[in-house]
Amino acid sequence: MTKVKKFILSEKEIPSQWYNVVADMKSKPMPILNPGTKEALKPEDLYPLFTEELARQELNQTDRWIDIPEEIIEKYKIYRSTPLVRAYGLEKALDTPAHIYFKNESVSPVGSHKLNSALAQAYYCKQQGVTNITTETGAGQWGTALSFAAKMFGLDLAVYMVKISYEQKPYRRSLMQTWGAQVIASPSMSTKAGRKILTDNPTYQGSLGTAISEAIELAMQTPNCKYTLGSVLNHVSLHQTIIGLEAEKQMAMAGEYPDIIIGCFGGGSNFSGISYPFLRYNLTEGKKTRFIAAEPESCPKLTRGVFQYDFGDEAGYTPLLPMYTLGHTFAPAHIHAGGLRYHGAGTIVSQLLKDNLIEAIDIKQLESFEAGVLFARTEGIIPAPESAHAIAATIREAIQAKEEGTPKTILFNLSGHGLVDMSAYDQYFAGDLVNYSLSNEDLAKNIKVLEKII
């Protein structure tokens, strides 16, 4: 029998609804709070920042299925379905009885899964008559995805890019400019928040917290303008469920069902996207699939953080989110998986972890690059440093399966490729990368700050 390598859906098999896992959760996430009044947020409270439909999606706990508008599906067809691939090469190198599959989100035009939500957010802005949008970007993946999405729906986009990345990652900046976005190094003189920081400290290299403040400020001051975010929030995870819903159909084509599902973890959007559609069978039919979120050792909010109300940003501008967190003042080490350097986690994923419905592990930086290189040499695709954390976790499980002699079926999400991250690989090959472990004292410092919040 010839072995099938990859499974692809026809255009009409692309799912037409996203899956809202909250509807099936017995213990719902705790409410998001207004930081001033400490009252539960209502959709209207979010209207100044987000479009009405996205605000409703954010707080929707009852509708299991949300229709994907036809205009978004038309854009999804540019790159969806993404292939589900059997990693025969990796299996052979590991000499494992496990069957390893990966969902290849790196084939999107921007090279990562982030486009799944960028297209949806841009569409709802357009539909509500919004003309301008703003955002921030750290490593540049989200800004890149949103640039393409804004162009698709005819919106003007301003991206505040953390200054150090703006200088060190010139190609992500070029991608954004090619798709027509205005990219501003943050801190900048274009906002009050930026001007204040630059006046106090003219050589400041920027942070995500500052970039968020600038993007929010510009959105509030520009007529017909909204702010957008690429991870953490519930509506972002909702849009990403297209990944798992496709994978469900594709695993059926392969005649298998996953025992273990793995995603790397920054704020939770790609992990949620691959996991929630399968998790619904654990929640509603008693299936026992394991879900593993793989986070970096240097930013261990799921494995070593606390479950607490905290701000989503460094500056403390966002509503209060009940989540696993290292504290919004936590400054993660400069690992190369820039997309995983976030102090908190989405509220849904946090509740699921608290209820032991999913698991989390941490991966050292060097283990992630070793895994990424093995994957490149066996499957051909050079993974994003973020995605390499999911590959490392997969390798651990495949080796475990070999030791136990059990033919487990493992599915992981390849969230993006690493072709714009080759300087990180260069440093790995030069022996210049190190692991960053955190002492309990270092962790306790930033968590202590949270006691004052609630």
Ligand X SMILES: *Cc1c(COP(=O)(O)O)cnc(C)c1O
Where does this chain bind ligand X (CB under 6 A)? 112, 114, 141, 231, 264-271, 339-340, 384, 386-387, 415-416
Minimum CB distance to ligand X smaller for 145 or for 251: 145
The three-state (H, E, C) secondary structure of the chain, written as one string: CCCCCEECCCHHHCCCEEECHHHHCCCCCCCCECCCCCCECCHHHHCCCCCHHHHHHHHCCCCCEEECCHHHHHHHCCCCCCCEEECHHHHHHHCCCCEEEEEEHHHCCCCECCHHHHHHHHHHHHHCCCCEEEEEECCCHHHHHHHHHHHHCCCEEEEEEEHHHHHHCHHHHHHHHHCCCEEEEECCCCCHHHHHHHHHCCCCCCCHHHHHHHHHHHHHHCCCEEECCCCCCHHHHHHHHHHHHHHHHHHHHHCCCCCEEEEECCCCHHHHHHHHHHHHHHHHHCCCCEEEEEEECCCCHHHHCEEEEEECCCCCCCCEEEEEECCCCCCCCCCCCHHHCCCCCCHHHHHHHHCCCCEEEEECHHHHHHHHHHHHHHHCCCECCCHHHHHHHHHHHHHHHHHHCCCCEEEEEECEECCCCHHHHHHHHCCCCCCCCCCHHHHHHHHHHHHHCC
Minimum CB distance to ligand X smaller for 194 or for 244: 244
Minimum CB distance to ligand X smaller for 57 or for 96: 57
Least separation, in Å, of the C-beta of 294 and ligand X?
A: 10
Minimum CB distance to ligand X smaller for 145 or for 225: 145
Least separation, in Å, of the C-beta of 292 and ligand X?
A: 13
Least separation, in Å, of the C-beta of 342 and ligand X?
A: 7
Least separation, in Å, of the C-beta of 141 and ligand X?
A: 3
Least separation, in Å, of the C-beta of 264 and ligand X?
A: 5
Least separation, in Å, of the C-beta of 139 and ligand X?
A: 7
